[in-house]
Amino acid sequence: MREIQDSIKDSVHKLLSDRIAFYNLSDYNVKETQIINTITGTTFIFKGLKEQSSGNIKSLEGVDIVWLEEAQKISKKSWEILDPTIRKTGSEIWISMNREEENDPVWKAVAQNPDERTLVVKVNYTDNPFCSEEMRYLAEKCRQENPDDYEHIWLGAPVSAGSHKLISYKTVHVATKTQLLGSSSPLIIGLDVARFGDDKTVFCFRRGRYCAEFRSFSGLDNVEVANQATHYIRELKPARMFIDAGGVGGGVVDILHDRGLKKIARAVMFGSKALNDDRYHNRRAEMWDELRQWLSSEPEVKIPDSENLCAELCSVNKKYDSRGRLQLEEKDEIKKRLGRSPDMADALALTFAEPVYDRGCEEYSELKENSIESLFRADANKNKSNSW
């Protein structure tokens, strides 16, 4: 099984078929989508977890052995459905993976702190007696030229922030444990508007170095999203609300501007030209890098201790364009690997769309004591910050 299997060609069907042919194992009947042993009746089936409904996955409860291939791509949701499903007496789940992230869902669930029924074995090319001299040459060449890539590709270590990752797991983990109660900086709201059915509309609330919380909504149309945004603007009095205006988000911005909220509600196009065009490929790369610097710089910052947020922040790979500017991988690639869209992380990145300076609250009347602003009320003695 894999997380995503668009066709039988994406599975290990061909690998097993080739081995059966190589060893001339005549007792196996190789079919287009199955392999059956004609003596024992053992049947090999091939599935993609994401393409299956929870009901279809639960139909596997009679299976003796499940092999999860490329398990680093298995989502937390898929694992939580599959794990309790394989419950036949004596059944086993075999997991093979080359780790991508420090917090790969299956690694965290099974191998990070294995119980007495879990066997974890690290196997590398050096343990393979059939590894060719050509493969060993390529491994050694990689080790000498790029140690970070060698650790990941050949030794199975998670991708390090220094090679492909924009934001490291360690940086994010530290920010979740900070003992910070609030900030007196202006409230900035980032709004990532859902584009597709499984995406979520997410509001992020940040004051200076303190990210207060996220609020997510599913199934809202543009008017409903605009109504929610209007509610937050009127009740919480943010200095700015930065909105992803790509796709359907542009309609939300139009509604808010029509309501006279143009000064607060600002449209942001992820794919547009960066403010610092010499350094960044586009606004998306610029905002995410500002977020990276915010997380890793002093004084310390605080973000919610959320497993989903942590995974999203660590999911983005970086590269550089032909001009040497920072560029991020496409969102669709992140979504395939993560199993969902990084909506929370994008909403947080949006709060770094433009510098916002602390000019006080002269534009607003006194807030009512029972306002939901109390959720984000500033602690005047903590972490005063004049920008970002």
SS3 per-residue string spanning 80-125: HHHHHHCCCCCCEEEECCCCCCCCCHHHHHHHCCCCCCCCCCCCCH
Task: List alpha helices for the chain, DSSP H.
Answer: 13-22, 54-58, 76-85, 105-106, 133-145, 147-153, 169-177, 222-236, 249-258, 283-296, 307-313, 331-338, 343-350
% pLDDT > 70, the chain = 86
Q: For position 8, what pLDDT does the model report?
A: 65
pLDDT of 144 > 60? The answer is yes
Q: Is 166 helix (H, G, I), strand (E, B) or coil?
A: coil
- The CATH number given to whatever domain includes residue 24 is 3.40.50.300
Structure tokens that stand for 372 in this block: 């939901």
Q: For position 333, what pLDDT does the model report?
A: 84
- Chain centroid to Cα 44, Å, comes to 32
- 36-85 pLDDT, tens digit each: 999 999 999 888 887 665 566 666 778 899 999 888 888 888 888 888 88
- 33-48 pLDDT, tens digit each: 899 999 999 999 888 8
pLDDT of 264 > 80? The answer is yes
Cα–Cα dist 286/182, whole Å: 26
- Residue 322 within any structural domain of the chain: yes
Residues 15 and 73 in one domain: yes
- The CATH number given to whatever domain includes residue 213 is 3.30.420.240
108: alpha, beta or left? (left if phi > 0; alpha if psi -120 to 50): alpha
- Residue 382 within any structural domain of the chain: no
Residues 84 and 150 in one domain: no
Beta carbons within 10 angstroms of residue 357's beta carbon: 11
| Domain's final residue, options 92, 121, 150 | 121
Residues 193 and 264 in one domain: yes
Q: For position 148, what pLDDT does the model report?
A: 67
Residues 107 and 207 in one domain: no
Residues 106 and 195 in one domain: no
- Residue 196 within any structural domain of the chain: yes
Q: Is 248 helix (H, G, I), strand (E, B) or coil?
A: coil
- Residue with the bigger pLDDT between 156 and 58: it is 156
Residues 219 and 342 in one domain: yes
Rounded to a whole number of angstroms, the CA Rg of the chain reads 25
Residues 355 and 212 in one domain: yes
- Residue with the bigger pLDDT between 10 and 370: it is 10
pLDDT of 3 > 90? The answer is no
| Domain's final residue, options 121, 150, 177 | 121
Residues 195 and 342 in one domain: yes
pLDDT of 319 > 50? The answer is yes
Per the structure, how many domains does the chain have?
3
- Residue 383 within any structural domain of the chain: no
Residues 306 and 317 in one domain: yes
Q: Among the listed ranges 72-81, 129-138, 185-194, 374-383, which one has the minimum average pLDDT value? A: 374-383
| Domain's final residue, options 63, 96, 121 | 121
Q: Is 306 helix (H, G, I), strand (E, B) or coil?
A: coil
- Residue 384 within any structural domain of the chain: no
| Average pLDDT over every residue of 268-276 | 95
The overall average pLDDT reported for the chain is 84
- Residue 183 within any structural domain of the chain: yes
- Residue 381 within any structural domain of the chain: no
Residues 133 and 112 in one domain: no
Beta carbons within 10 angstroms of residue 308's beta carbon: 17
Per the CB < 8 A criterion, the answer to whether 191 and 203 are in contact is: yes
Residues spanned by the domain of 65 = 8-121
Q: For position 239, what pLDDT does the model report?
A: 95
Residue 295 banded pLDDT, cuts 50, 70, 90: very high
Structure tokens that stand for 349 in this block: 């990145």
Residue 180 banded pLDDT, cuts 50, 70, 90: confident
Tokens 């609030």 found at: 182
| Average pLDDT over every residue of 89-104 | 87
| Average pLDDT over every residue of 280-301 | 94
- 206-229 pLDDT, tens digit each: 999 999 899 999 999 999 999 999
- 113-142 pLDDT, tens digit each: 899 999 999 888 888 998 999 999 998 998
- Residue with the bigger pLDDT between 240 and 374: it is 240
Residues 347 and 199 in one domain: yes
- 331-361 pLDDT, tens digit each: 888 887 777 889 999 999 999 999 887 643 3
CA distances from 98 to 72, 106, 283 (A): 6, 11, 32
Residues 199 and 317 in one domain: yes
Tokens 């992380």 found at: 345
- Residue 1 within any structural domain of the chain: no
